[in-house]
Amino acid sequence: MSAMTAITHARTFDSLRKHRNYRLYFGGQVVSVTGTWVQNVAQAWLVVELSHSSPLAVGVLAACQFGPYAILGLLGGVLVDRLDYRRTLLFTQSAMMCTAAVLGILALTHVAQVWMVDLIAAGNGVALVLDTPARQSFTIQMVGRRELPNAVALNSSLFNASRIMGPALGGVLIATTGVAVCFLINAVSFIAVLGGLMLMREEDLYPVQHARRGDSMLAGMKEGLAYARRTEPVRTVLLMMLVVATIGINFNVLLPVLARITLHSGAEVFGLLSSCFGAGALAGALVAASMGRALMRVLVVAAGGFGLFEIVLALQGTVAGAALVLALVGVCFTLYTANSNSTLQLAVPDQLRGRVMALYAYVFFGTAPLGGLMTGWLADRGGSRLAFLVAGSSGILACAYGLVRTGGLRRITRRMRRRRETFDVPGGAALPRE
C-alpha cells in the first residue's frame, strides 16, 4: 500500500466519524494547538532578539519551560489517576490561557526581558504537569480501546497540522505585527478547546477505573514505576524515548539557530523550516492513523529513520535542502511517537494509565531542560551541524536497542546468514528451507 493510499484510507478517520465527544475535542484542539505553535515560534524568537542571538539563552528557555515537569511530572501522573480527566483539562487549559495573556501584555508594553519570558515559560510548565497525562489518558475515555491507536495518531495529525499552520502564521505575524500579537492570539485560541470540553456529553464517555485515593502519593508513584520496570514492552518504549527525547528532540532550540546562524536568514525562514517539519510529521501521523494498530517494528524502524535523517540534516547548507530533509525527519518522528504512545496506552490498566503516561511525558518533556542546555551548548560550540549530528546518533542508538529487545536483530542476522549460505552453494543454488 502506497503512502498516499494509506493516508486516504477510510479507516484513517474512524474516531472522528464514530465519536461526537472526540469531534468536539479534536476541533477545539485544532484551534488551540495552532495558537500554541504561534506562541512557541514567537517566544523563541523573542528570546533570540532579547539575548542578541544567543543559542544558550534559547536553551535556558527550554529548560524553564520543561523544568517543572522534570521535578513534578511523576507526581502529576499520580494525581491524574485520581482525578476526573475532563475537569482537570478545563483547569489546566484555563491556566495556560492566562500565561499566554500575561506574556502578550508584557510584549505589547515593551517591558519584556529574558528572565520574564523564562519565568512565564516555567509557569506554563507547571500547568503541563497535570495537563499532559490528563490529555493523554482522556483519549481512551472518548473513543474506547478499539479506536485508541487511530485517535492517538489523529491527535498527532492535528498537532502536526498545527505545526505547519502555526509557525508559518507566527513567522508572518512576527515580521508584520510583532511577537505580542502572537501571544494574544494564543490566549484567545484556548476558548475553542474549553468550549469543546464543556459541550461534551458525560454519558457518552467510556468508563475508566481510577486509582484509590487512600494511598500516599509516594506509594502511588512507586506502583507506577514498578509496573513500568517489570513490563517488557513498556520498559523498552520508555528507554528508547529517554535516549531520543534527551538528545534528539530539541527542535525548539536548534531551528532558530539553523535559520538565523547556519542559513543566515530571518523569521520567515524559521517559520518555513518549522512548517516543513510539521508537513512531514502530518503525513506520518495520517499513515499511522490508517494502520489502526500499534506496531513495535514500525516504532523501531522509525526511530532509526529519525536519527539517520537528522544526520543528513547536519550536512545541509541551503534552505531548500534543510526544508526537504526536515520533512523526512517529521515523517519518521510522528510514526515513532504515535506508535510509542499507543503501545503504552494499550499495555496499561486503567488505574495506572495516568502514571505510565506521566512517565512517558516525563522522558519526553522532563528531559528537555538537560537536553535543551546540552543542545544549546553544542550549538554554541559547533553550530547546528554538530548539534544535529549528536541528535541523529541518539535515534540510531535507540533503534539498535529496540532491535535487540524486540528480537529484530536476531531476525536480521538469520536472514543475512541464509543469504550468505545461499551464495556459498556452487552455482548459486538456494539451500532448501528446514
Q: What is the pLDDT of residues 280-334, one digit of tens each?
A: 888 888 888 887 677 788 899 999 999 999 999 888 888 889 889 999 998 998 8
Instruction: Tell me: pLDDT of 23 over 90.
Output: yes
What pLDDT score does 233 carry? 86
Between residues 410 and 51, the one the model is more confident about? 51
Highest averaged pLDDT of the listed ranges 8-12, 48-52, 250-254, 401-405:
401-405
- Residue 370's pLDDT band (boundaries 50, 70, 90)? confident
Q: Among candidates 241, 236, 235, 233, which has minimal Cα distance to 347?
A: 233
Instruction: Tell me: pLDDT of 3 over 70.
Output: no
CA dist 286 → 17, 278, 289 (Å): 15, 12, 5
What pLDDT score does 431 carry? 36
CA dist 425 → 10, 417, 430 (Å): 48, 13, 7
Which segment of 89-98, 183-192, 338-347, 413-422 scores lowest on mean pLDDT? Answer: 413-422
Q: Among candidates 277, 204, 293, 280, which has minimal Cα distance to 12?
A: 293
Which segment of 13-22, 109-118, 162-171, 173-182 scores lowest on mean pLDDT? Answer: 162-171
What pLDDT score does 149 carry? 86
The residues, ordered by sequence, that sit 6+ positions from 115 with a Cβ below 8 Å of its Cβ are none
368/249 Cα distance (integer angstroms): 8
- Residue 98's pLDDT band (boundaries 50, 70, 90)? very high
275/422 Cα distance (integer angstroms): 48
Residues belonging to the chain: 434
The burial class, CB within 10 Å (0-12 / 13-18 / 19+), for 371 is: buried
Mean pLDDT of 21-39: 92
Between residues 417 and 162, the one the model is more confident about? 162
Query: Which residue type, as a one-letter code, is found at position 3?
Result: A
The burial class, CB within 10 Å (0-12 / 13-18 / 19+), for 98 is: middle
Mean pLDDT of 197-223: 85
Q: What is the mean pLDDT of the chain?
A: 83
What pLDDT score does 419 carry? 53
Instruction: Tell me: pLDDT of 425 over 70.
Output: no
What pLDDT score does 423 carry? 45
296/319 Cα distance (integer angstroms): 34
Angle, CA 267 vertex, CA 374 and CA 107 arms, to 5°: 85
What pLDDT score does 434 carry? 34
Between residues 182 and 272, the one the model is more confident about? 182
What pLDDT score does 262 carry? 82
What pLDDT score does 347 carry? 83
pTM (two decimals):
0.72
Instruction: Tell me: pLDDT of 266 over 60.
Output: yes
pLDDT in tens, 99-152: 999 999 999 998 988 899 999 999 998 998 999 889 988 999 999 888 888 888
Instruction: Tell me: pLDDT of 172 over 70.
Output: yes
15/152 Cα distance (integer angstroms): 10
* Residue % of the chain over a pLDDT of 90: 27
pLDDT in tens, 49-88: 888 767 778 778 877 887 888 788 888 889 999 999 999 9
Instruction: Tell me: pLDDT of 162 over 60.
Output: yes
What pLDDT score does 199 carry? 95
Q: What are the chain's domains?
A: 11-423 (1.20.1250.20)
